């Protein structure tokens, strides 16, 4: 049986039971009231009134029952209409929910339900809409990711094809073509590795091996890794670690990966003759590592988005330089290790700061 009919019949059953109870109780209770009333009347009328007693009692009970019987059909009618309307509201909400879930199951993630009412049905619609919103965002992210990956792959693949054709036609020396092909292959390899890492970071599936280490250990490892590259590009690399900075609790290799990303970005965006400073500050709770450069800076309207996957301030200029997910990975790793990462920038350069929990926190 349809929900509408079931709800209506259950309401109707309640109404019939209520009416039956009303009749039964009026029969049981009314007799006592009527008898008392008649006794009083008989007392007022005197001895002649005694003959009237039976008549009065019978008449009054009959009148009451007739009145009730006449009123009940109207009451049932009004109650039935009310029951119909209330059943319809429940059924309408359930039907909307059914159609909505159908649409979502068919991939129509934009579908939403009307959110009227403050009762449980209204709550259900609001929860449904929130669920649909989350699904829509996840789906958008999936489509965006595939589009971005395809776009990122197209460039090195097109270059590879060009070099391979040049090699085949003999218009490029073998040595140069081989170098160029290897360079493009490295780009693709880096993209594949970064993509695999970004998906693991986003899924929270990166295994961490935290330990306590002095902030200087991390700073020196970063400096060591980049010393030569900075020298080659004529960019000064300075660092300061004040005394008294507490030790850090984190996965050393992952923390170094974050620092490496920031130092590599700073180098790429700072022209020769510029300067990059790595400084550290710490308190009981956490230790902050700051990479400050005197490079191009990042326009304020891009600051919010540079941690997003594949977001680049100037895609044409920075094409082929990085995989575009370095900062996404950095943010994911820092957050997994219990820290935060932020950026500030002006026309005189950018400042990236990430924190890691201090060992005494
Ligand atoms: P990429 O691989 O392109 O460097 P990232 O996620 O590391 O990807 O960085 C995202 C974008 O943020 C870069 O493409 C660049 O536009 C901008 N960016 C990052 N670091 C700096 C910096 N130090 N100075 C200026 N722009 C920066």
- Residue 44: its pLDDT value, please? 81
Q: Whose C-alpha lies nearest to ligand 1, atom 20? A: 265
- Residue 27: its pLDDT value, please? 80
Sign for the CA dihedral angle at 334, 335, 340, 345 comes to positive
What values do phi and psi take at 313, rounded to 5? -70, -45
- List Cβ<8 Å contacts ≥24 apart for 23-30: 23/65, 23/68, 23/69, 23/72, 26/64, 26/65, 26/68, 27/65, 30/61, 30/64
Q: pLDDT tens for residues 289-313?
A: 999 999 989 999 999 899 998 888 8
- Report the number of secondary-structure helices (H) and strands (E) in the chain: 9, 7
Q: Which helix (H) or strand (E) holds 341?
A: strand 341-346
Sign for the CA dihedral angle at 201, 202, 207, 208 comes to positive
Contact criterion met (CB below 8 Å) for 310 and 271? no
| Ligand 1 atom closest to residue 307's alpha carbon, by position in its atom list | 6
Site to probe by mutation for ligand 1, drawn from 237, 306, 308 as the one with most ligand atoms within 8 Å of Cβ, is: 306
Distance 198 CA to ligand 1 centre (A): 16
Distance 113 CA to ligand 1 centre (A): 41
203 — pLDDT class (breaks 50, 70, 90): confident
Distance 262 CA to ligand 1 centre (A): 9
9 — pLDDT class (breaks 50, 70, 90): confident
- Residue 273: its pLDDT value, please? 96
Residues lining ligand 1, CB < 6 A? 261, 265-266, 269, 293, 295-296, 298, 306, 311-314, 318, 322-328, 350
Q: pLDDT tens for residues 82-141?
A: 888 888 888 888 899 999 999 999 999 999 999 887 888 889 999 999 999 999 988 988
Distance 265 CA to ligand 1 centre (A): 6
Judged against a pLDDT cut of 90, whether residue 340 lies above it is answered with: yes
């Amino acid at each position: 049986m349809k929900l509408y009919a079931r709800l209506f019949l259950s309401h109707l059953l309640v109404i019939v039971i209520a009416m039956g109870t009303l009749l039964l109780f009026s029969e049981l209770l009314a007799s006592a009231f009527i008898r008392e009333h008649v006794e009083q009347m008989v007392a007022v009328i005197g001895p002649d009134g005694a003959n009237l007693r039976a008549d009065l009692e019978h008449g009054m009970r009959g009148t009451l029952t007739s009145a009730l019987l006449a009123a009940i059909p109207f009451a049932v009618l009004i109650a039935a209409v009310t029951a119909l309307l209330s059943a319809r509201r429940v059924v309408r909400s359930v039907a909307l929910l059914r159609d909505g879930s159908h649409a979502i199951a068919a991939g129509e993630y934009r579908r939403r339900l009307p959110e009227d009412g403050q009762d449980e049905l209204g709550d259900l619609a609001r929860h449904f809409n929130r669920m649909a919103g989350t699904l829509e965002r996840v789906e958008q992210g999936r489509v965006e990711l595939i589009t971005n990956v395809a776009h990122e792959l197209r460039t090195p693949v097109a270059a590879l094809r060009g070099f391979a054709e040049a090699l085949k036609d003999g218009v490029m020396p073998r040595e140069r073509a081989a170098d160029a092909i290897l360079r493009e292959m490295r780009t693709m390899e880096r993209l594949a590795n970064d993509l695999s890492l970004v998906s693991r970071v986003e899924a929270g599936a990166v295994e961490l091996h935290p330990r306590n280490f002095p902030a200087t250990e991390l700073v020196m490892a970063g400096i060591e890794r980049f010393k030569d590259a900075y020298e080659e590009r004529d960019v000064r690399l300075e660092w300061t670690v004040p005394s008294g900075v507490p030790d850090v609790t984190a996965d050393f290799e992952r923390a170094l990966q974050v620092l490496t990303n920031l130092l590599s970005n700073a180098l790429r965006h700072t022209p020769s003759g510029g300067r990059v400073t790595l400084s550290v500050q710490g308190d009981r709770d956490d230790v902050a590592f700051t990479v400050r450069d005197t490079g191009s800076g990042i326009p304020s309207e891009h600051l919010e988005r540079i941690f997003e996957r594949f977001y680049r301030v100037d895609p044409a200029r920075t094409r082929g330089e990085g995989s575009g997910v370095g900062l996404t990975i950095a943010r994911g790793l820092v957050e997994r290790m219990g820290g935060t990462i932020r950026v500030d920038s002006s026309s005189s350069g950018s400042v990236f700061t990430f924190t890691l929990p201090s060992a005494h926190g």
